[in-house]
Structure 1
Amino acid sequence: MAITAKFDLDTRQLDAVNAFTNALLDEDEEVYVLFPDGYYRQGWVLRLMRALYGLPRSPLLWQKELTSAFKDLGLKQCPDEPRVFQNDWLTVFFFVDDIVFLYRKDKEGVAD
């Protein structure tokens, strides 16, 4: 918040809903699970296509997914802090599923 005050920036914060389930598993990664309660098929299991809460790799997969999305939007990743991205008017940083946007006030229309 000190940065927003010093540079007269606006701030938006969001929480990514079900963040981990937005990340795809690697194509060569095979993870199988049992059917959820209320569903059953004798002798069958389900292959996960997306990360799932409780899967040890889920946080890393989500970070890779979000990093890729920010880069696709043209943001540059800070070399010293891999969870910070910038362009000439926007700074984005995240921790797990909490994402904060800092932007110049004259760019509010673009930021929204």
Structure 2
Amino acid sequence: MVLPPGFQAEKPNQVCKLLRSLYGLKQASRQWNVKLTAALLNYGFKQCIADPSLFTKGTGSSYIALLVYVDDILVASSELILIQQLKDVLDKAFRIKDLGVLGYFLGIEAKVSTAGLNLCQRKYAVYILSDAGFTDCKPVNTPMVPGTHLFQEDGTALTDPGSYRRLIGILLYLTATRPNITYTVHKLSQFVSSPTDRHMAAAHRILRYIKGSPSQGLFYPATTTLQLKAFSDSDWASCADTRKSVTGYCIFLDTSLISWKSKK
């Protein structure tokens, strides 16, 4: 590294000892995660095995959950005093910034009411439409034309395949709250290596579908039963290029959709 201006070396070939990971270094994010995890475990939290970014503590009315994404933290509990105690501990250790009641987290808009919790990505959906020039497009009722079959070499190759790849990448994040477009986006993501005009037309139809309901998302009611329900299905060798099947599943906690996937 280059020594800072004004530093006077007393001995030749001196080096600087790094006391903490500098922001931007490859190991900085890992070191931060290790330190935050250690602090939460020492405070009594348990790290979820299925999702290492989720930490929980207590049971019943004394239950508190904490979700981490790099240095963004989301805390939930029915007891406000537990949240305040946790904030005091974290602020003492890391000097945190409290952003208040949940409203916007990682591009997902959250609205809490007496009826329940509503999650959507309206702002992100409007940005997608504006970026692609589909703000004034005519909406459609389905994300894909029923009975459509797309192939790897179906149509004319795009002169700018980067625009297709960027659009699919943007739509992939929208599936976080829009399971109704998961299958279509999954299908179109298989053609990012060599997209054609037909693939792009199918992607544009998703935008027209989003135009009809940009605020659509997920709703979790305040009163529910802890009844777990799962549904799954698969077709038979529907992919004409690989002759592989496509399977999908969705898992509900009572009427609340908590997990879903569409995969070849």
TM-score for both structures, normalised by structure 1: 0.61
- Equivalent residues in 2 for 1:1-112, closer than 5 Å: 33-36=1-4, 38-42=5-9, 43=12, 44-88=14-58, 89-104=63-78, 107-112=79-84
Q: Which has the larger radius of gyration?
A: 2
Question: How many pairs align?
Answer: 77
Secondary structure in 1 matching 2:21: coil
The answer to whether the Cα contact below 8 Å between 1:75 and 1:86 also exists between their aligned partners in 2 is yes
Over aligned residue pairs, what C-alpha RMSD do you find? Answer: 1.5
Q: Hey, what's the Cα distance between the residues in 1 that align with 2:66 and 2:40?
A: 9
CA drift at 1:54: 2.5
Q: Hey, what's the Cα distance between the residues in 2 that align with 1:111 and 1:81?
A: 21
CA drift at 1:110: 2.9
- The one-character-per-residue Cα deviations of 1:55-76 (angstroms, maximum 9, x if unpaired) are 2111111111111111001011
More divergent stretch after superposition (76-85 vs 51-60): 51-60
Which protein has greater RCO, CA pairs closer than 8 Å, 6+ apart? 1
- The one-character-per-residue Cα deviations of 1:6-61 (angstroms, maximum 9, x if unpaired) are xxxxxxxxxxxxxxxxxxxxxxxxxxx4433x331234331101111122111111
Identity among equivalent pairs (%): 29
Q: Hey, what's the Cα distance between the residues in 1 that align with 2:75 and 2:82?
A: 12
CA drift at 1:93: 0.9
1:39 to 1:101, Cα distance in 2 relative to 1, 3 A: farther
What 5-or-longer segments of structure 2 have no aligned partner?
85-264
TM-score for both structures, normalised by structure 2: 0.28
Q: Hey, what's the Cα distance between the residues in 2 that align with 1:39 and 1:84?
A: 45
What 5-or-longer segments of structure 1 have no aligned partner?
1-32
